[in-house]
Structure 1
Amino acid sequence: MIECIVQNAIDAKDAENLGVSRLELVSAIQLGGLTPAYETIQQVLDSVRLPVQIMIRPHDAGFIYTLEDKEIMKKDIYLLCERGHHRIVVGALTEKKTIDTVFLDDLFGEFPKLDVTFHRAFDEVRDLTEAYQTLVAYQKNIKRILTSGGTNGCVEGADSLHRLVQLQHTWQGPSILPGSGLNVNNIQDLHGAIQANEYHFGSGVRKGQSFEERVDKDIIKRIQHILLR
């Protein structure tokens, strides 16, 4: 399973045509990814058949959200659900750097059909094992956790990612989705160390490893070859 970050319909169609398995739609990738404009969301959903996880993140000022922030996020999710789309990427923490379960309870109570990727807010928790155990209780909705193992990237976090994958199998919880810093040059060694079932790629599948360039067919094919053998 290869997930790819996209920012518009052209990106999305490119990725689908090149054999990517799932898309994460964001805006403002230079800020780590924010909620896309609704018009962009509509264009992407009308352009592809692949599963599309849509980022719900109102700003880049951390993952501890005010009540006003949460209402904005819920309004964005409501618009998606009205359209019949329930796949989102979201995450929230408390001031103690634990999972914001009050927000999750509220969110899934109001939107019970959500299919969620809990994003890299997970990498800022005080304890990865504690946080994973918390999210196991929400696996009806939280299907996967995007993480670099509590570090800046998957290279540094490989050992932690492997331990999280082991917890995934032991507790039958949400899938671990390694992401950050993955590319065609390191995925073989990292997959050997981590042994996840799915991986999240950003600039690493683009020409020149730049979001200003399009998804590269040869890179995608090489990554597929590595992961499938």
Structure 2
Amino acid sequence: MTANTLTIEICVEGTDGLIAAQQGGADRVELCASLIEGGLTPSFGVVHEALRLATIPFHVIVRPRGGDFLYSEVEFAAMLADVTALRELEVPGVVIGCLTATGEIDEERTKALVEAAGPMSVTCHRAFDMTRDYAAAIEALVRCGVDRVLTSGQRDTAIEGLDILKDCVARADGRLAIMACGELDADNIAAVRAGTGVVEMHFAALKTRKSPMEFANPHVGMGGDNLEREYELTVTDSAVVARTIAAARG
């Protein structure tokens, strides 16, 4: 396997994150809002700006809320509408995930989203890691026509999920791509690549910096229970992106 066969995707929040990922040498971006909740659908103003600024492909997460992946009819209708609108904008790809109450891939809804996506690339996000049976989930995603699945091997980190990640690659057998994630950094990414055989990897190179606001009203917050957090920004660190990519490629 040569370095050129490896695709590195960076998970970012908003267009500033997209720019930082590009500067760090990413091959692709997953564009999100609210990474503190694991990533939600960004606004269409953000998507328009991303289309203007992007020099690499980006895939947009379609996730209407945080929490689990069992959606109401109204939530799913919104997801379909988002996918359709993103297709009409000619966005390169979307990132989706729907489960049944019993922990399987919801094939009916996943197929509907894939159909709505048309020519766009479709990734199943880490809803996969919340399934009851990862081997059955891979087969379901293949039947649905999904292009890749993002997974940490059903564990908190890729290092912990190494054996399952390797087995996922074998079971997928080229029918869909296994994209490894789970606290990947410059110290472990090469080992995960070597130990699993994945050809796509995903991480978020995030750092926190203070807001440039000079005044902060101490008497009111915007809904959270940590007023200090409301004056912090989570940003993508292009230097960490570059360093981790270099380690992955060897």
Normalised by the length of structure 2, the TM-score is 0.82
Q: Deviations along 1:96-128, whole A, 9 cap, x unmatched?
A: 111101112222334432311100000011100
- Cα offset for 1:212? 2.2
State the alpha-carbon separation in 2 of the partners of residues 168 and 206 from structure 1: 30
The answer to whether 1:150 aligns with 2:154 is yes
Query: Is the Cα contact below 8 Å between 1:56 and 1:89 reproduced in 2?
Result: yes
Q: Which runs of 5+ in 2 are unaligned?
A: 1-6, 210-231
SS in 1 for 2:42: coil
State the alpha-carbon separation in 2 of the partners of residues 44 and 19 from structure 1: 17
- Cα offset for 1:16? 1.0
The answer to whether 1:34 aligns with 2:40 is yes
Between structure 1 and structure 2, the one with the greater Rg is 2
State the alpha-carbon separation in 2 of the partners of residues 224 and 85 from structure 1: 24
Q: Deviations along 1:13-71, whole A, 9 cap, x unmatched?
A: 12112210000001110111011111111111210121111000001131011111110
Provide closer, same or farther for how the CA distance between residues 190 and 144 of structure 1 changes in structure 2, counting only shifts above 3 A: same
- Cα offset for 1:213? 3.9
Provide closer, same or farther for how the CA distance between residues 107 and 213 of structure 1 changes in structure 2, counting only shifts above 3 A: closer
Normalised by the length of structure 1, the TM-score is 0.89
Determine which of 232, 236, 239 is the counterpart of 1:214. 236
Q: What's 2:203 paired with?
A: 201
> How many residue pairs were aligned?
222
User: 2:11 is aligned with what amino acid?
Assistant: I
Provide closer, same or farther for how the CA distance between residues 211 and 166 of structure 1 changes in structure 2, counting only shifts above 3 A: farther
Q: What's 1:108 paired with?
A: 114
Higher relative contact order (CA closer than 8 Å, sequence separation 6+): 2
State the alpha-carbon separation in 2 of the partners of residues 221 and 150 from structure 1: 27
SS in 2 for 1:96: coil
Q: Which runs of 5+ in 1 are unaligned?
A: none
Query: Is the Cα contact below 8 Å between 1:207 and 1:216 reproduced in 2?
Result: no
Q: What's 1:14 paired with?
A: 20
SS in 2 for 1:183: coil
SS in 2 for 1:212: strand
State the alpha-carbon separation in 2 of the partners of residues 221 and 29 from structure 1: 20
- Cα offset for 1:86? 4.8
